[in-house]
Amino acid sequence: MISKLQYISQGKDIAHHLENIQKVCDWGCDWIQLRLKQVSDDEYFRAGIEAKRICQKYGARLIINDSVEVAHEINADGVHLGKKDAEPFQARTTLGKGKIIGGTANTHNDIISLVDQKVDYIGLGPYRFTQTKKDLSPVLGLEGYVRILNRLTREQCQIPVIAIGGIMEEDIKHIRKAGAYGVAVSGLLTAEGPLTMDNQKIYEQLQ
Q: Average pLDDT for consecutive 10-residue bins of the chain (207 residues)? A: 95 96 92 96 98 98 97 98 91 96 97 97 91 72 97 97 94 95 92 57 71
Where residue 83 sits, what CATH number does that domain have? 3.20.20.70
146 three-class SS: helix
Pairing of β 31-34 and β 5-8:
parallel
Task: State which residues form the domain around 12.
Answer: 5-205
Question: For the chain, how big is the Rg over CA atoms in Å?
Answer: 16
pLDDT at position 198: 60
Alpha-carbon distance 165 to 59, whole Å? 26
- Number of structural domains in the chain: 1
